[in-house]
Structures are given as C-alpha cells and as structure tokens.
Copies of this chain bind each other. A is one copy, B any other.
C-alpha cells in the first residue's frame, strides 16, 4: 500500500491529474503539486477547491521545484512523504524525476516518453534510448515505474493487451486511431504544448510493419476510417511513443498509429515546417539575437489550457485490431469517447488533457492498492489491463468495444469472468 502523491508539472494534464487525485484522496492520501512556477500550481489548487473535487479534507499543497535538479526533487519527495510521483511535466524532465524516484523508492509514473531538447525523433525503439537503460536500476531498488500511462500511450497499450488476451488466437495488426472531432473555435491551436506537439511531426514517422521499423514521412500515408460517433474520418500515419514499446512487447507484426488532422491544420503545419519555423535549432536574427524558432511559434499560439472553455465536440481514441479467432478472421475496435464540454464542466479542462490525466491517476490508484505495484519498470501493455479498464470505467473514461457482437461498454469482469491474471503479464 502506497500513499501520498507528488504531481510534477502544472500544465493541462497536471490540472486533470490534480482534480482526479483529489476526487480519490481517500485512497491516494496527501497531494502535492510542484513546478517551476508556483503560481501555476496554486491556480490548479484553487480550481480543485472551486470545483469541490476533494473527496476528503487532506493536504493539497503547491511547491516551487526545478525538477531537473534531482537532489531538490528527492528532498521534496521525502519532505512530503510522497510514495507515488506522477510526472506530467515537460518530457525533458523524465530521466531526472525517475532518478529521484529510484533514489527515494517512490513509485514513478509518466505519460510521455523522455526527450532531449536538442534532438528530434531518435533511433527506434525510443524507450531504449533513455527509459529502458534504467530497468535494472528500478528492479534493484524495487521501484515501480510505469511508463507512458496517459491515453496514448497508456490506455491504448492496455486495450491492445486486453484484445490479444481475450479476443484473438493470433493478431496480425493493431491500428491505433486518435480522432479529435472537437472544435476550439480559434484560427489555429495545438491541444497540448505546441513545442512537444510539433516535435511529434517534424521528423521521421516510424511505424512497425512486418516485424520491422519502417520510416515514413509525415502526411505521406492517409487512411480513412469508419469510426463510432464521427463516421468516416481522415487520419495520417504518425509516429508515436507506444509503437516503441508495443512493437517490442506484444509480438504483433504490424502496429501503426493514425491521427486525425484537418486540411487547415496540415496547411499551417506545412507552411511553418517548410519555412523552418518548427526547428528546435537556434537561428540568429539581424539584430544578433539567438532564437529557437519553435519557441517563438509556441509563444504566439494560444495557451492550450485557454481553449477549454469554448471547446465542443468529442475525442474518439482506440485500437482497431485484426487477427484470427477460432480459425476466422475478425476485427475488434476497443475505444473511448470523451466529450470536451463534459470534461470542462467536471474539472475545467478539455478532453485531450482529460484523457491523458485520468489514466495516470487510475494507475496511481492501482499502485496505491498494490495491484500494479510490481517493484520494477513496465510499459502499460506489460501489466494486467482488466483492473485498469474497470477502474477507468468508474472514473469517467468508459471503454467500449465494437466487434461482430455489436458495440457496447467493455466491462472486463463481465466479458471474461473466469479470467485471472498476474500483476505483471508475461511478454509474448
């Protein structure tokens, strides 16, 4: 049993994580929020109080922290008696925060892969460049570290694992489909940090095809899908974190990630990229200033958090899995639908932040109660998906399944009542 949560970061996802931790603080204990800017932490705390999100009257406190400073992070973990750290700060921080957890014994959770600010799109599998180098250190210290436990990566990894275990004898392909059918009413905005958002799309698009990495260009491959809620929707093959663990852990020959983009988004993206304005490499202005163009683009774009009040529509994110069951080919879609406005009403965020934040808190609760507290490092597809899916169903992220039997809520206990699974599953 682990108690007390330290949330690192004070952006859109941290906002949701704080609300959801507060709603479940009978299990999670005290909540601390730390980021470089104390006022941003305090604003989240104010929002938690305004919405009345606290389940019990327990500690909820803001801290100023530069999480690149491992000693400062260790000190704060110890001072707050935090046994679980939910790192939803910049992905540049991951390795520092993980180091602090390994040295203090706190469990570690994040929602996005580690990045080096100076490098874009490194050699696949990405997890092998940073996170997996600390596997042995986690095991030696008996530290639970669950990597990438947002929606995608995170929930989509669990969906894949669930379908492999319950719906197929063998799987040929997993297509992760991420649709934002919402509208923020602005000329252009990204749904999370523009710097991180654009970095996803400015370099090689890696996909997993026939058990090997294949490099593609952004917007090179287009695919229309018939999805619940949206109907026919256009997506593009995109590089994404979860491919870099699922390809190594699931034994599935084809795993691809598809994201919906409107023509307007693509046009703006292409103009900025072709002009060199999405570059992370500094340029020198005529006045002699050294400037990173991407940081300037970020500065002129709307703050993603500012989009929430006007956001309408839904996100639809899931895994379309094709394979064989009982000698017949079949297709299963496991997915979630999330409504921007409903998220805003509940916690003051849009659905992109909500779908990333809720799974991290669900994971924290599974660590707190011991279910996922495995004492080593894991990606989500290595863990038992059933309690995770069942818990999220009760926390506001309901999983649905569409297969030959129809389209319905997925209750893992009902669908596979006899099934029991170890906390950490054996890899394929």
Would you call A293 and B296 a contact (CB within 8 A)? yes
Interface assignment of A187: CB less than 8 Å from any CB of chain B: yes
The CA-CA distance from A199 to B310 in the complex, in Å, is 32
Asked whether B285 lies within 8 Å of A299 as measured between CB atoms, the reply is yes
CB distance from A327 to the nearest CB of B (A): 53
B-side contacts of A295, CB under 8 Å: 285-287, 289
Distance of A157 Cα from B271 Cα, bound (Å): 36
Q: Do B271 and A297 touch (CB < 8 A)?
A: no
The 8 A CB mask of A182-203 against B (1 = contact, 0 = none) is: 0000011000000100000000
A275: CB under 8 A from chain B? yes
Q: Would you give the 0/1 interface string for A52-96, flagging 1 where the beta carbon is closer than 8 Å to chain B?
A: 000000000000000000000000000000000000000000000
Q: How far is the CA of A275 from the CA of B272 in the complex (A)?
A: 10
A188 and B279 alpha carbons, distance in the complex (Å): 16
Please measure, in the bound complex, the distance between the C-alpha atom of A292 and the C-alpha atom of B299, giving whole angstroms. Answer: 11
Residue pair A291, B296 in contact (C-beta under 8 Å): yes
Count residues of chain A with CB under 8 A from any CB of chain B.
28
- Chain B's closest residue to A277 (CB) is B300
A402 within 8 A of B: no
The B-contacting residues of A in range 171-229, CB under 8 angstroms, are: 187-188, 195
The 10 closest A-B pairs by CB, nearest first: A276-B300, A285-B295, A271-B271, A283-B299, A285-B299, A187-B274, A296-B296, A268-B271, A291-B291, A291-B296
Contact in complex: B299, A284 (CB < 8 Å): yes
Query: Which chain B residue lies CB-closest to A90?
Result: B286
**Which residues of B have CB within 8 Å of A274?**
187-188
User: Is A267 interfacial (CB 8 A cutoff)?
Assistant: yes
Q: Which residues of A contact B (CB under 8 A)?
A: 187-188, 195, 267-268, 271-272, 274-277, 279, 283-287, 289, 291-293, 295-301
Asked whether A300 lies within 8 Å of B289 as measured between CB atoms, the reply is no
Q: List 20 A-B contacts (CB under 8 A).
A: A187-B274, A188-B271, A188-B274, A195-B286, A267-B271, A271-B271, A271-B272, A275-B297, A275-B300, A277-B277, A277-B300, A283-B300, A284-B299, A285-B291, A285-B296, A285-B298, A286-B299, A287-B295, A291-B296, A293-B299
Q: Which residue of B lies closest to A270 (CB)?
A: B271
Which B residues lie within 8 Å of A285 (CB)? 291-292, 295-296, 298-299
Complex Cα spacing A287 to B279, Å: 16
Specify which chain B residues have a CB less than 8 angstroms from the CB of A293 in the assembled complex: 296, 299-300
18 additional contacts (CB under 8 A) given A187-B275, A286-B298, A286-B299:
A187-B274, A188-B271, A195-B286, A267-B267, A268-B271, A268-B275, A271-B272, A275-B300, A275-B301, A277-B296, A277-B297, A277-B300, A283-B296, A283-B300, A289-B289, A289-B295, A291-B291, A293-B299
A271 to B195, CA, bound (A): 18
Q: Which residues of B contact A268 (CB under 8 A)?
A: 271, 275
Residues in chain B near residue A300, CB distance under 8 A: 275-277, 279, 283, 293
Q: Quick one: closest B residue to A186, CB to CB? A: B274
